[in-house]
Structure 1
Amino acid sequence: MRVLVAGATGAMGKELLPRLVDAGHEVFAMVRSETGKAAVTRMGAVPVIADALDRAQVTKAVREADPEVIVNQLTAIGHIDTRHFERSFAATDRLRIEGTDNLLAAARGTGVRRFIAQSNGAFTYARTGGPVKTEEDPLDRSPVAQMASMIAAVEYMEKAVLGADGIEGIVLRYGAFYGPGTSMAPGSEQLEMIRKRRFPVVGDGGGVWSFVHIADAAEATVAAVENGGRGVYNIVDDDPAPVAQWLPELAAMLGAKKPMRVPRFIGRLAAGPAGVVLMTELRGASNAKAKRELGWTPSHPSWRQGLRVGT
């Protein structure tokens, strides 16, 4: 198939493009610069230049590629400052709204039959009920203020993709990434903070995290390109775990001392309301639907083994 990947030079793109090429697809990559053009060419894709926020450029790029499938991996997430969570996600929120609208508009005009979009299954589920959510469970309807714009952008994007007329819309809710190029790569700032005991457990550490290795997320995306049907899929590993469990285990893998524990009010002062949510109230996600319907099984079924290899 002819596949166009938007957002092709990030951590996901570097894993996804070679896999699509190896699977025999004719791969096009939407990039903004000559540097990006050279990078995707080395990975075996054909570059098309466009700024995702410029509808005319996006339309031209999509017409040039003439894809059967578009994969939207547009993000601009760098360092996440939990005290100013909304600022950390502002550029990505815009891409999820305007960038998605531009790609969908171009897709309608060129006969694209399948549209796959990156979403977030790590931070977005409602903080009520059981610890592990399925795709049928709602997103957070009453988020803390710092997380509201991020969740609203995710919900907008998902509704736009799933409701696109004449296009099979697929939403992949990825868990928290780890592995090469991610915020939890070997030597990353986040792992160094854990190593230096600067990443404490807040409150009871009851927030449940669902992880996924970046390579497994890329494999699931290839499966969605080839086998996906309209709908939402959680792309996470088999082992959702509360912070009070995974953080001490990861510290031990790194040869660090056990993380400190601080009460919620101290966590709120240091990391803001969003940081407290991530530590104490987050809900995990089930991958049963993705395994069943996409024919996908993570090669790293648990962060326990996957992170140990990377550390």
Structure 2
Amino acid sequence: MRVLVAGATGAIGRELLPRLIESGHEVFAMVRGESGMSEATRMGAEPVVADALDRAQVEAAVRQAAPEVIVHQLTAIGHVDTRHFERTFAATDRLRTEGTDNLLAAARAVGVRRFVVQSNGAFTYDRTGGPVKSEDDPLDRSPIAQMTSMIAAIGHLEKAVLDAGWTEGIVLRYGAFYGPGTSMAPGSEQFEMIRKRRFPIVGDGGGVWSFVHIADAAEATLAAVENGGRGVYNIVDDDPAPVSQWLPELAAMLGARKPMRVPRFVGRLAAGEAGVVLMTELRGASNAKAKRELGWHPAHPSWRQGLQAGT
């Protein structure tokens, strides 16, 4: 199939493009400039140039590629500042709203039959009820102020894609990424903070995280491109775990002392309200549907083995 990947040089894109090519697909990479063109070419894809926020450029790029499938992996997330969470995600929010609308309009014009999009299942589920959520559970209906715009952008993206009756819309709610090119990789700032005991457990550390290795996320995306049906899929490993469990274990893997524990009010001063939510209130996600319907099974079924291998 002819497949266009938007966000082709990001963490997932760098893992996904080679897999698509090895599977025999004709791959086009939507990039913004010369550096992206060089990287896409090096990976074996044909680059097409467009700014995702410029509708005319997006339409021209999509017409040039004439894809059967579009994979939307556009983000602009750098260092996550939990004290100013809304600033961290502002650029990505635009890509998930304006960028999605632009891609969908272009896709409709050329008759794209499948549209696969990156969503978030790590930080977005309703913070009530049980510790592990399925795709039928709602996104956070009462987000804190700092996370409202991010949740709203996710909601816009998912609704736009699932409501597009002219194409097969597939939403992938990825867990928290780790592995090469992510914020949880050897030498990353996050790992160094844990080594230096600057990443404490806040409150009871009861926030449940669902992780996914970046290579497993790419494999799931390939499965969605080839076999997916309309709907939402959680792309996470088999082992959702509270912060109070995974953070000390990761510290031990890194040869660090146990993380400090601080009360919620101290955590709020240091990491903002969003930091407290991430530590104490998150809900994890189940991957049962993705296994059942996509035929996908993570090669790293638990963050325990996956992180150990990469530390």
Say yes or no: TM over 0.5: yes
Cα distance per residue 1:230-259 (max 9 Å; x no partner): 000000000000000000000000000000
CA distance in 2, matches of 1:51, 1:165: 26
Shift of 1:55: 0.3
Give SS of 1:155's match: helix
CA distance in 2, matches of 1:206, 1:156: 29
* TM alignment of 1:61-140, pairs within 5 A: 61-140=61-140
**Which residue number in structure 2 is paired with residue 182 of structure 1?**
182
Structure 1 unaligned spans of 5+: none
Give SS of 1:181's match: coil
CA distance in 1, matches of 2:263, 2:35: 46
Cα distance per residue 1:109-131 (max 9 Å; x no partner): 00100000000000000000000
Shift of 1:264: 0.4
CA distance in 2, matches of 1:305, 1:69: 33
**Which residue number in structure 1 is paired with residue 297 of structure 2?**
297
CA distance in 1, matches of 2:152, 2:16: 27
2:278 corresponds to 1:286: no
**Which residue number in structure 2 is paired with residue 39 of structure 1?**
39
**Which residue number in structure 1 is paired with residue 18 of structure 2?**
18
Number of residue pairs the alignment of both structures matches: 311
**Which residue number in structure 2 is paired with residue 208 of structure 1?**
208
* TM alignment of 1:132-211, pairs within 5 A: 132-211=132-211
CA distance in 2, matches of 1:185, 1:91: 23
Shift of 1:159: 0.1
Cα distance per residue 1:193-226 (max 9 Å; x no partner): 0010000000000000000000000000000000
Q: Partner amino acid for 1:104?
A: L
**Which residue number in structure 2 is paired with residue 217 of structure 1?**
217
CA distance in 2, matches of 1:174, 1:203: 26
CA distance in 1, matches of 2:246, 2:35: 38
Runs of 4+ in 1 over 3 A off after TM superposition: none
**Which residue number in structure 2 is paired with residue 59 of structure 1?**
59
CA distance in 2, matches of 1:12, 1:40: 13
Shift of 1:165: 2.5
CA distance in 2, matches of 1:149, 1:285: 21
Identity between Structure 1 and Structure 2 (%)? 84
Shift of 1:71: 0.1
TM-score (norm. length: structure 2): 1.00
Give SS of 2:29's match: strand
Give SS of 2:97's match: helix
Q: Partner amino acid for 1:168?
A: E
Give SS of 2:89's match: helix
Give SS of 2:205's match: coil
Give SS of 1:199's match: coil
